[in-house]
């Protein structure tokens, strides 16, 4: 497993992360098998959110109940959670009271004294950056959150926060997979008339994050995009799967590792946030951590997913 020091922190992190959005209905044994599979593969970083699960903090609680980590075991993990979405609406709330209350709820559900990283889950159109700054500073000073980031944020939204927030913004979690790749694909076809790919939907987020040492974390790395489901083995993506299968055989890894590798190969040093609840798939995906795809292979996957290369 490839690791690196997350810029803006002293945390040494893997470039593949285990997301726990889908564990609500899993038994203790299933959660333990999933988490152990991750740990055995070198995935020492867990992604949570207050809203994951049937109820608020449901998946965080399920994780804690199943794993019952001792303080020493807890210290071996980087635990990240998110706040800012009010599911009963839905709407967004970056107010001081909401953010601090959410973190306290996460700490209680997780049975831990601190989060390594807190992300603002989705942009709040009514954001008052002074409130966010006050919440971050108080949580940091109290030792309850060690580092801060965002998710699904544009460069302008991050700039606004950075003007007020004292701590560095260390991560921006965005949706990215081989077929769902506006983050990467727009820049390839910039300035092309009448081509949907040329439309900027994130306003240069990837380049902005690289310029400011903000690590991009790729969520839904196996999903084809809105409503299309998993692309691996899907008849909707025959050309892509042919290339994936050929490269998997060539590198002697399972196909899921190639889906991971397409993201980890990018020089932005992104992290892949897995969502599978299958221990075998976690182990397979982890094998993509440092598959050295060539520039030609990376580009062939990109084209086979249907992206335009002018």
Ligand X SMILES: NC(=O)c1ccc[n+]([C@@H]2O[C@H](COP(=O)([O-])OP(=O)(O)OC[C@H]3O[C@@H](n4cnc5c(N)ncnc54)[C@H](OP(=O)(O)O)[C@@H]3O)[C@@H](O)[C@H]2O)c1
Q: In the complex, which residues of this chain contact ligand X (CB under 6 A)?
A: 19-22, 47, 151-152, 173, 219-223, 230, 232-233, 273-278, 281
Using CA atoms, how far apart are residues 258 and 84, in angstroms rounded to an integer? 33
With respect to ligand X, which residue has the nearer C-beta, 185 or 232? 232
With respect to ligand X, which residue has the nearer C-beta, 35 or 274? 274
Least Cβ distance, residue 126 to ligand X (angstroms)? 19
Least Cβ distance, residue 80 to ligand X (angstroms)? 9
With respect to ligand X, which residue has the nearer C-beta, 48 or 134? 48
| Beta strand spans in the chain (E) | 3-5, 12-14, 16-19, 45-47, 78-83, 85-86, 91-92, 115-120, 145-151, 169-175, 215-219, 271-274
Least Cβ distance, residue 191 to ligand X (angstroms)? 29
With respect to ligand X, which residue has the nearer C-beta, 112 or 134? 112
Least Cβ distance, residue 280 to ligand X (angstroms)? 9
Least Cβ distance, residue 89 to ligand X (angstroms)? 16
Q: Which residue is nearest to ligand X (CB)?
A: 275
Using CA atoms, how far apart are residues 30 and 110, in angstroms rounded to an integer? 17
Q: Residue 5 region, left (φ>0) first, then alpha (ψ -120 to 50), else beta?
A: beta
With respect to ligand X, which residue has the nearer C-beta, 47 or 60? 47
DSSP helix, strand, coil percent of the chain (3-state; round to 5): 40, 15, 45
Least Cβ distance, residue 46 to ligand X (angstroms)? 9
Least Cβ distance, residue 99 to ligand X (angstroms)? 16
Sign of the Cα torsion 30, 36, 40, 46 reads positive
With respect to ligand X, which residue has the nearer C-beta, 151 or 205? 151
Give Cα separations from 12 to 4, 7, 105 (angstroms): 5, 9, 26
* Pairing status of strand 115-120 against strand 16-19: unpaired
Using CA atoms, how far apart are residues 107 and 114, in angstroms rounded to an integer? 7
With respect to ligand X, which residue has the nearer C-beta, 14 or 275? 275
Q: Cα–chain-centroid distance for residue 165?
A: 22
């Amino acid at each position: 497993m490839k690791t690196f020091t997350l810029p803006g922190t002293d945390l040494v992190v893997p470039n593949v992360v285990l997301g726990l959005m889908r564990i609500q209905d899993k038994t203790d044994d299933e959660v333990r098998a999933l988490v152990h599979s991750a740990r055995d593969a070198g995935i020492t970083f867990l992604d949570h959110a207050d809203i994951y699960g049937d109820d608020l903090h449901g998946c965080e609680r399920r994780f804690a109940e199943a794993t019952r980590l001792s303080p020493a075991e807890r210290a071996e993990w980087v635990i990240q959670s998110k706040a800012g979405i009010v599911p009963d609406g839905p709407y967004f709330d970056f107010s001081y009271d909401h953010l601090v209350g959410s973190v306290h709820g996460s700490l209680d559900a997780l049975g831990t004294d601190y989060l390594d990283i807190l992300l603002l889950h989705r942009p709040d159109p009514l954001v008052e950056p002074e409130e966010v700054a006050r919440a971050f500073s108080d949580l940091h000073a109290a030792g309850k959150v060690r580092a801060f980031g965002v998710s699904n944020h544009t460069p302008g939204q991050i700039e606004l926060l950075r003007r007020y927030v004292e701590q560095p913004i260390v991560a921006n979690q965005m949706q990215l997979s081989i077929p769902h790749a506006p983050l990467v694909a727009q820049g390839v076809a910039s300035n092309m008339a009448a081509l949907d790919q040329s439309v900027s939907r994130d306003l240069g987020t990837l380049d902005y994050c690289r310029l400011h040492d903000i690590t991009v974390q790729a969520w839904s790395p196996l999903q084809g995009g809105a409503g299309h489901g998993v692309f691996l083995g899907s008849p909707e993506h025959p050309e892509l799967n042919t290339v994936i299968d050929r490269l998997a055989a060539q590198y002697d890894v399972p196909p899921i590792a190639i889906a991971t590798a397409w993201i980890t190969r990018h020089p932005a040093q992104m992290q892949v946030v897995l969502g599978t609840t299958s221990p075998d798939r976690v182990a397979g995906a982890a094998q993509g951590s440092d598959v050295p795809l060539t520039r030609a292979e990376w580009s062939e996957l990109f084209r086979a997913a249907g992206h335009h290369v002018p």
